[in-house]
Structure formats: structure tokens, C-alpha cells
Chains A and B, each alone.
Chain A
């Protein structure tokens, strides 16, 4: 019985050596990230809602941009993180890479959903319609579908490590495809209507727009990093707990 216990504990130490290290250093990140994010949100929202003028063209609706653009940026940033994690899973076989990928996917879907909804609510007063098939919004919608596909594929697997590798392959296939999709959608867009829309992040944006926009973007990005780290930590904890539960079941079976 003691012998059995010995082998089990050596197993799990070697298996969790890397995650253990991650759990130690990431613990120091949580509160600083939370604090920075909270401060940035406070300052950013104050700028966005009270301390910035209405745009001469868009009027007050410019304020929607301050929540739309950060989410649109994060929807792509998150995919970038997933693609790097996918390479980490398949090539470097880093034990934390698949944890990072799994933690990022639902966040990516959520941020993409926020970008889409805020975009639609911005589009209605600006363009007079909730949905305009313009290149960017269409690409973002397709990105959302890709996120859903990744999450769905992940959820159909029971074994998480096997799922990680398969999802990593799909993530990379998607990463190769996203530029093609973006390009094709832009081409399709010019085909159907000449592009005359206001460009949100054009070079001519005045400082009164830039300040809240940058602050809010930073705030959301730091929040994303915080949530990502928290979700990764949860996943590591969950796997440890799952393993203990399996051992418990095995013990009970042996006893009976």
C-alpha cells in the first residue's frame, strides 16, 4: 500500500513540476494586475464619459467607440495568444501551453461578442443600421464563429490533453486562414459597396479621442491578462483535483 502511494506521488510531482512553478510566480501577478486594471478603468471611464468632448461628426456616439475598439482589439489579440499557445502545445510541448489555450478561448469569444454588439449599437446611430456588412464587422463575426468552433471542438473531447493537441491544430489552421478571410471579405466589400465609412482609428483622430481610447484599451487588455492568468490557475487546480478524484475512485474500487 505504501509502495503504491510512493509511485503515485512521484508521478504527480514530475507531472506538475512546471505547473507548480507557474502557480508560484503567477500568484504575485493577480493583485497588481487587478489594481492596475481597476485604476485604468476608473480613469478611462471618467475620460470616456465625462471628460471628453463629443465628436464634431458623430456627436456623443463617439463614446461607444471607447468600449468597442478595445474589445475589437482584444478579439484579435486573444487569437494571437491562442496561436502562440498552439505552437507551444504542438512544437515545444510546454505543459502550460494547452492550459493557456483552453483559458483563452472563451475569453476570446466573450470579447468578440462584446465587440460585435457594441459595434452594432454604434452602427445604428452612425450608419442608420445595426448591421452593416462592412469588411471589419464581417471578419469579426467570422472570427466569432471560429471561436465557437474551437470551443465546441474542445468540449466534445473527454480527455483534456488529447483535446489540447487537436484544438491546437485547428487553432493554427484558423490562424493561417484569418488573413485570407480578412482579405477576401475586404475584397468582397469593395465589390458590393465603395468603402466610404468613417475609419475609427484613422490618423486624424484628435487627442481628446486618443486619451480615453488608449486608457480604455489598456484597461481592457490588463483585465484580459488578469482573467487569463486566473483561468489558467483554475485549470491547473482543476486538473490536480481531477487527478486526486481519479485516485480516490481507484482506491475505492480496490477496497471493495
Chain B
């Protein structure tokens, strides 16, 4: 790891915050994709079996 100088805390804090939010965004987005896709699949299957 390189030496980040006297303000290392701020640099690390900034990168961590951006990292957490970005990863969080990706995680939420991907989980929504799969959740809605599953929901649609389930409903479509129900519709087919019902009809």
C-alpha cells in the first residue's frame, strides 16, 4: 500500500463511501432484476396452468 500522507483517513473514507454506495447500488439493482424476473416467471406459469 502506498503512503497516503497525513490525510489518509479522508482519502480512505471517501473511497470507502463511494465503494459502499456503488456496490450497494449494483447489489440492489441486480437483486431487483432477479426478483422481478422470478415473479414474472411464477405468474406466467400460474397463468398457463390456470388456463
Direct contact of A and B (CB under 8 A): yes
- B10 A54 Cβ-Cβ under 8 A: no
Main SS class of interface, B:
helix
User: A223 is contacted by which of B15, B22, B33 (Cβ under 8 Å)?
Assistant: B22
- B44 A244 Cβ-Cβ under 8 A: yes
A241–B32 alpha-carbon span in the complex (Å): 13
User: B25 is contacted by which of A107, A121, A233 (Cβ under 8 Å)?
Assistant: A107
- B40 A241 Cβ-Cβ under 8 A: yes
**What's the count of A-B pairs with C-beta under 8 Å?**
95
- Report chain B residues within 8 Å CB of A35: none
A117 CB, nearest partner CB in chain B, Å:
5
- Annotate A106-120 by CB proximity to B: 1 below 8 A, 0 otherwise: 010010011001100
Which size class do B's interface residues fall under? 20 to 34
- B37 A113 Cβ-Cβ under 8 A: no
A60 CB, nearest partner CB in chain B, Å:
4
- Report chain B residues within 8 Å CB of A238: 36, 39
Q: Is A124 positioned at the interface, with any CB of B under 8 Å from its CB?
A: yes
- B10 A124 Cβ-Cβ under 8 A: yes
Main SS class of interface, A:
helix
- A230 B33 Cβ-Cβ under 8 A: yes
Q: Is A122 positioned at the interface, with any CB of B under 8 Å from its CB?
A: yes
A256 CB, nearest partner CB in chain B, Å:
14
Q: Is A251 positioned at the interface, with any CB of B under 8 Å from its CB?
A: yes
- B4 A60 Cβ-Cβ under 8 A: yes
Interface residues of B in 13-40 (CB under 8 A from A): 13-15, 17-18, 21-22, 25-26, 29-30, 32-33, 36-37, 39-40
List residues of B whose CB falls within 8 A of some A CB. 2-8, 10-11, 13-15, 17-18, 21-22, 25-26, 29-30, 32-33, 36-37, 39-40, 43-44, 46-47, 50-51
Apart from A61-B10, A121-B11, A223-B22, what are 5 other A-B pairs with CB-CB below 8 Å? A67-B15, A107-B25, A125-B6, A238-B39, A241-B40
List residues of A whose CB falls within 8 A of some B CB. 5, 49-50, 54, 59-61, 63-64, 67-68, 71, 107, 110, 113-114, 117-118, 121-122, 124-125, 223, 227, 230-231, 233-234, 237-238, 240-241, 244-245, 247-248, 251
